[in-house]
């Protein structure tokens, strides 16, 4: 598998309560990377429909970090409310879910990248997302792009069967398998 055979996404939101996902979360943008191609989608109906079509038509793995518990449920809620359709993903590879299966514990993307790549996410106050999106959206786009790039870099290590360093544990994640289409 090469870099053009998978898509990485990450969403940015405002509001909500992590104990009640996806309720209350306002979708601001979804960043997507496929190889060296980047796209940003908003919650506007036309943009959201383009994202839904992109995800539905892509047969390779969709890669997320904690997507099972956050990104996909939030997107599914927004697709349902705005587009009257469900998220459809052919294959999903959630790095966090795979890490938990192997190590039995969760780790932040920031700590994983610092331990494994020697790189950090941008410092960010998520409570300001709505304000930043309204006044300086390019800053939120830049923040999202760094997260997408770090997730891409971690997944490239998975594809090369290279270890990930969790601080006091080293693991190697399994390669993605071709799963039957997943309706969400």
Q: Are 41 and 28 in contact (CB under 8 A)?
A: no
CATH number at residue 150: 3.30.420.10
Please state, in angstroms and rounded to a whole number, the distance separating the CA atoms of residues 119 and 121. Answer: 7
Residue ranges of the chain with per-residue pLDDT less than 50: 1, 179-184
Please state, in angstroms and rounded to a whole number, the distance separating the CA atoms of residues 22 and 88. Answer: 17
Q: Looking at the 3D structure of the chain, how many domains does it have?
A: 1
User: What's the pLDDT score for residue 178?
Assistant: 57
User: What's the pLDDT score for residue 180?
Assistant: 38
Angle (CA) 85 70 2, round 5°: 85
Q: Domain range spanning residue 136? A: 3-183
pTM of the model: 0.92
Beta-sheet strand order (sheet of 37-42): 37-42, 25-34, 7-15, 61-64, 91-94
How many percent of the chain have pLDDT more than 70? 94
DSSP 8-state secondary structure symbol assigned to residue 111: H
Residue 26 pairs with which residues in a beta bridge? Answer: 14
């Amino acid at each position: 598998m090469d870099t053009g055979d998978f898509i990485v996404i990450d969403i940015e939101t405002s509001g909500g309560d992590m104990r009640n996902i996806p309720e209350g979360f306002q979708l601001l943008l979804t960043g997507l990377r496929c190889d060296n191609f980047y796209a940003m989608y908003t919650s506007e109906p036309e943009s959201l429909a383009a994202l839904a079509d992109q995800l539905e038509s892509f047969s390779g793995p969709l890669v997320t970090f904690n997507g099972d518990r956050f990104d996909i449920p939030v997107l599914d809620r927004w697709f349902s409310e705005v587009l009257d359709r469900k998220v459809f993903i052919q294959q999903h590879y959630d790095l966090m879910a795979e890490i938990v299966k192997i190590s039995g514990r969760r780790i932040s993307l920031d700590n994983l990248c610092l331990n494994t790549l020697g790189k950090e996410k941008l410092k960010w106050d998520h409570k300001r997302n709505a304000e930043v999106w309204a006044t300086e959206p390019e800053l939120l786009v830049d923040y999202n792009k760094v997260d997408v790039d770090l997730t891409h870099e971690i997944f490239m290590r998975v594809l090369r069967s290279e270890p990930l360093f969790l601080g006091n544990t080293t693991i190697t994640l399994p390669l993605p398998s071709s799963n039957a289409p997943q309706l969400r």
